[in-house]
Amino acid sequence: MPDMTDARNRMVDVQIARRGVRDEHVLDAMRTVPREAFVAPGYEEFAYEDGPLPIGHGQTISQPYIVALMVEAAGVRPGDRVLEIGAGSGYAAAVMGEIAAHVHAIERHEPLARMAEARIAAAGVDNVEVHVGDGTLGWPEAAPFDAIVVAAGGPSVPAALKGQLKQGGRLVIPVGEAEFGQSLRRITRTGPDSWDEEAIGAVRFVPLIGAQGWAEDGRRAASSHVPGQNSGKTLPQMVADAAEPLPDTEDPSFAPFFDRYADRRVVLLGEASHGTSQFYRARAAITRHLVETHGFTIVAVEADWPDAAAVNRFVMHQAAREFEDPAFTRFPTWMWRNTVIEGLADWLRVHNGTVADPDRRAGFYGLDIYNMRGSIAAVLDYLDEVDPEAARIARERYGCLTPWQRDPATYGRAVLSNRYRDCEDEVVAQLRDLLERRLHYEAQDGASFLDAAQNARLVRSAEQYYRVMYYGGAESWNLRDSHMFETLEHLLQARGPDAKAVVWAHNSHIGDARATEMGAVRGEHNIGQLCRERFGDDAALIGFGTHTGTVAAATDWGGDMEVKRVRPSREDSYERVCHDSGVPRFLLDMTRDEALRRRLMEQRLERFIGVIYRPETELMSHYADAALPQQFDGWVWFDETGAITPLPPDHRREGVPDTWPFGV
């Protein structure tokens, strides 16, 4: 068997420690026990991936993080006597055996028990005894125990296990109806007949079968009923009670539900997919209301700056540029070239026509990084008008990017392979020179300078982005979101101290990254996190979700748009909790019900559909662990949704100004 020490250490560092497990006993034990020795033959190469693996008899070896979380929660210490229920592969028992004095593990499947026994011995752990029996009854011959860890979900906490704890002992067990997922609980014995109970997080385990658990047919075993236990409301019922039902997005009473966020400097609206009509229409209604009623002057979207600038010139009644291509013709065109954005642009133009003070008009701006070619053209066009000599120098500097402007991803590959020098010094120098002439240029036309300066920033950031993207990891993601946040800051500064912004982006950009595995595991930040760190309570983060319906998306990057059926949400997801509430459309204010907030803090899966949607790999490609109340201040729910309607490729309108951005 190959040496997998490096993979084991990486698992501990990335999957476990980054998620918050701090107990050195646990981390050291998981660095020691070879997980590859406990998986089924043929799965060794997957042993250190972030997920469970099959071991036979319908059982799995748990995700490494869950093993670490449960052992840490149980407070296993040197010298302890430990009981494990559900030995399975034997891996968790071996990990606890590395820490404790003695471990008793119970497995109801005798073949699994014998296999676990052999694997534990082969791993060099000699203080674990594996027994065959009903784990819900514990192992009274060896009681009392300092810690009990149950690796299966029961309908309630078995009384037998509570009775086998020492005073001060800890029992960790998943509890809950299988259809609603389970809550990982820690029960601490505080006296002869008293226990404290606390929730740790949401989990999904196989059923705990036995006299004080579930029956084989899935019903609650007769002796598992405990008077007064589990008599409270389910999580979906709690959501239903706290949810504020919403009218249709076109109803005038829809947007005022969001007045509670109108005093914030920044309101961020994040959708769970890039191609869902209800999300776009809801954000448009909220945006119109914030602009018209509450004086917001910045609409900043997850779109390329030069393309959004064409829309901005239209809504601000400014002249079009001669060189300008139609807006949003780069993949994915439907994300911004759709009927909702066209309608919003028309509305903003009409609204701005009624506002006498140009500083109080609402602009439409792009935050994203991709259209390097358009940004270079915009900088050169601006300098041609205000400073021809500076334009000549800029052309020389940007010349090194000329071969890559239409396909900038190839630039990063060329630099990586040392076949072409990178252009970092040139694009940084160009931005620096432009900013050093700021006062001179702004005196001629402040709005045009803002556009040129931001395009120069985009070229600088894009050069960095395409240079680092071939290395993978968090660096390119973080660079992109940092650029979007810095663009937002520049807009707020340029529009004045009273400026307020509404931001449109995907949930993975809006929801605070620290509350998801992208931040906890992959070390990625996003614009939502950066706004919270910068603006504190002056930033409102509002997410969107759905259960099922259709979505406009492609199968591969650069592919054709398709209207795809969205699979019903997984049972272990936040989306399924919302669906099971029975409320078809609602706003959930995360500050409204503290008990609900605590329940929702238990991590669950959350779905993210971008411009690519692959239903056949949905769990791996579109779900991630999250803690919803830490991600968002509010959550907008549409139980069933439909695909956005794109503008046709040959879309034209008669009688529109020449600044109209959606023509071809």
Which residues are annotated as catalytic?
A: 62
Cβ burial of 142 (10 Å; 0-12, 13-18, 19+) is middle
| Length of the chain as a residue count | 664
Cβ burial of 353 (10 Å; 0-12, 13-18, 19+) is exposed
Cβ-proximal residues to 322 (8 Å cutoff; 6+ apart), any chain: none
CB 504 within 8 A of CB 301: yes
> How far are the Cα atoms of 503, 588, 604, 625, 640 from residue 201, in angstroms, in the given order?
31, 20, 8, 11, 28
Sequential DSSP letters for 394-444: HHHHHGGGGGGSSSTHHHHHHHHTTSS---HHHHHHHHHHHHHTHHHHHHH
ω into 326 cis (within 30 of 0): no
Cβ burial of 121 (10 Å; 0-12, 13-18, 19+) is middle
Distance CA 243, CA 262 (A): 20
Angle at 216 between CA 212 and CA 219, to 5 degrees: 70
Question: To which H or E segment does residue 510 belong?
Answer: helix 507-510
The three-state secondary structure class of 5 is helix
> How far are the Cα atoms of 309, 369, 392, 454, 499 from residue 486, in angstroms, in the given order?
17, 11, 28, 10, 15
DSSP 537: G
The three-state secondary structure class of 503 is strand
Cβ-proximal residues to 486 (8 Å cutoff; 6+ apart), any chain: 457
Sequential DSSP letters for 597-619: HHHHTS-EEEE-B-SB--GGGHH
Distance CA 68, CA 48 (A): 13
Angle of helix 305-315 relative to helix 446-468, nearest 10 degrees, comes to 160
Task: Give the residue from 361, 288, 296 showing the smallest Cα distance to 500.
Answer: 296
Distance CA 513, CA 556 (A): 25
Taking the alpha carbons of 489, 497, 319, 393 in that order, is the dihedral positive or negative?
negative
Tokens at 429, concatenated = 């120098």
Cβ-proximal residues to 397 (8 Å cutoff; 6+ apart), any chain: 423, 426, 427, 429, 430
Distance CA 164, CA 143 (A): 5
Cβ-proximal residues to 385 (8 Å cutoff; 6+ apart), any chain: none
Question: To which H or E segment does residue 183 belong?
Answer: strand 182-191
CB 383 within 8 A of CB 397: no
Task: Give the residue from 310, 418, 423, 320 showing the smallest Cα distance to 371.
Answer: 310
